[in-house]
Structure formats: C-alpha cells, structure tokens
C-alpha cells in the first residue's frame, strides 16, 4: 500500500501514480500535473485525454492513509479521501458509504 508523498515518488523517477480509495481509482500523471478519478470497478485507462484535471500538489499521510489533492495555486480547493485497505477501516464492507469531497478553504 502506498503511503508516501508525491515528492518522494517523483525523486524515484515515477511518472504515473495510481491510488485506490474506497470507491475510486485515482491516476496521477506527475509529469503533466494532472489526474483523473475513475470508479474503482473500472479498469485503469491512462490513455484517454478528455477527463484529466489539473492539480498542484498531492500529499499522502502515512499514519492515517488520508490523502489530499490540492487543485489550485491559492490552495483554496482541495479534494480529500482515504486509501482503501483490506479490511478497510473507512468503508468496512460498504465501499459506497465512503465519500470524497471537495473542501473549499477561505483566507
């Protein structure tokens, strides 16, 4: 299970990073600073170009498995979710019960 920051992965030379949350598969194109989020039950496809979204930063908390995706330079738009484990402490047996939400931060 991946539990490290994107900068650590980048220093290892990784260009594509895939994370699995309780209900989604997150694919990060590190080189182009873009990501896509797919339902967990759909095979990962990194070739399509239409549904990529830009991101500024990605941080994975090793202790909790929480991760956040910063969407803008002002760091006011953030997506937050958790890595899915087996057994999962976040969704139990109901993967649809865990939600990812966008957090809007105001200064």
For 33-81, the pLDDT digits (tens) are 999 888 877 776 555 556 889 999 999 888 888 999 999 999 999 999 9
**Maximum mean pLDDT: which of 6-15, 25-34, 69-78:** 69-78
Over residues 73-95, the mean pLDDT reads 80
Phi, psi angles (nearest 5°) of residue 103 = -105, 125
| pLDDT for 7 | 47
pLDDT > 70? residue 12: no
pLDDT > 80? residue 23: yes
Angstrom CA distances, 19 to 48, 66, 68, 73, 104, stand at 18, 11, 11, 22, 22
Give the mean pLDDT of the chain.
75
Structure tokens at 30: 């590190």
With tokens 């182009």, the residue in question is 32
């Amino acid at each position: 299970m991946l539990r490290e920051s994107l900068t650590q992965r980048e220093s290892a030379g990784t260009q594509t990073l895939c994370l699995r949350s309780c209900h989604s598969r997150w694919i990060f194109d590190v080189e182009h600073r873009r990501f896509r989020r797919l339902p967990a039950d759909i095979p990962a496809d990194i070739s399509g170009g239409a549904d990529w979204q830009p991101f500024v930063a990605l941080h994975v908390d090793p202790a909790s498995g929480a991760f956040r995706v910063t969407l803008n330079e002002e760091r006011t738009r953030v997506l937050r979710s958790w890595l899915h484990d087996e057994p999962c402490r976040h969704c139990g047996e109901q993967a649809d019960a865990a939600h990812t939400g966008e957090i809007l931060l105001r200064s």
